[in-house]
Amino acid sequence: MKVAVLGAGSWGTALAISFAARHEVTLWTRDREQLSRLQRDRENTRYLKGYPFPDCLSVAGDLCVASQDADVVLVVTPTAGLRPTLRALTAAGSRAPVLWACKGLEADTELPAHEVAAAELPDSIARGVLTGPSFAQEVAAGMPAAITLASADESFANSMAAALNSSRLRIYSSTDVVGAEIGGAVKNIMAIAAGVCDGLKLGHNARAALLTRGLAEITRFGVALGGRQETFTGLSGMGDLILTCTGDLSRNRKVGLLLAAGKPLGEIIENLGHVAEGVNTARAVQQQALRLGVDMPITQVVCQMLFEGLGAADAIAALMGRVAKKEAA
């Protein structure tokens, strides 16, 4: 199968390396300087150093060349890049099925990725989301992982998951696109909170409480948007939440660690070197939750820390000082 991976960041590169073990893969970047480095080094020295490209992985800077005759196109850009990439793909004349691996809500419109795709892709093009607990370095290294491919078209979800599945990257199919996307997006907000918790050295009890209540918050929000409750106990919900909130490779958790250390957001973003989707997603989720009447106290204090200058210790005090209530999802 011919696979076009659009986006040569760490996750796009990792998926390209993983899929190239069984398929013919083209990795596309729009950055001419990066293209030259990738072609010269046969490795992504900027975002994923130490993981050489397999022979079946080629690199392209022309979107038409990258997507030509592709059996599937996988868009692996930050959420902000999804819409322009889909527009460019459509303009290039591609009619291949499209998957995306973005984990966030579009900042300006507050739309999840599948609604962006619906606005930009012809109805005839099969589509879906690839999401779940997965750090790029581990996938590129061939370490075992399991993720979800969700599509409203069950036949497409099943067939594409089977085609991309491998002994190292197990892919489960689902028809709950909303649930899969919301789990992947909102867990990044919870990871920022978890980083604050760990940065303040509040202990394992506090982290366990945060993850549990964070999952309840994600579930409430996702169900209100039309997701299925059981999805949030799966890979794209609980699985991704656990990984991103506890793993040292998590960018969003690192944001929280630096907030706990008193670093200003501008400095954190400048020094991170990668996109932390939770920062932009937090505000979009908070606004949607207010309109839907969904209680999201963790998201609220994360937004206050990110955008209103609330100190980390005061944020924890605000959460712990809430009125006692009956435990419920």
Domain 182-320 has CATH 1.10.1040.10: yes
Closest CA to 6 of 180, 106, 124, 130: 130
Catalytic residue among 187, 254, 263, 325: 187
Domain 2-175 has CATH 3.40.50.1970: no
Domains 2-175 and 182-320 belong to one CATH topology = no
Does pTM top 0.85 for this prediction? yes
Q: Using alpha carbons only, give the angle 119, 23, 127 rounded to the nearest 5 degrees.
A: 15
Assess whether 2 carries a catalytic annotation: no
Q: Which whole-number Å values give the CA distances from 267 to 172, 258, 282, in the listed order?
A: 38, 9, 18
Cα(250)–Cα(134) distance, integer angstroms: 10
pLDDT in tens, the chain (329 residues): 999 999 999 999 999 999 999 999 999 999 999 999 999 999 999 999 999 999 999 999 999 999 999 999 999 999 999 999 999 999 999 999 999 999 999 989 999 999 999 999 999 999 999 999 999 999 999 999 999 999 999 999 999 999 999 999 999 999 999 999 999 999 999 999 999 999 999 999 999 999 999 999 999 999 999 999 999 999 999 999 999 999 999 999 999 999 999 999 999 988 887 778 999 999 999 999 999 999 999 999 999 999 999 999 999 999 988 888 888 76
What are the structural domain ranges in the chain?
Answer: 2-175, 182-320
316 neighbors 138 (Cβ within 8 angstroms): no
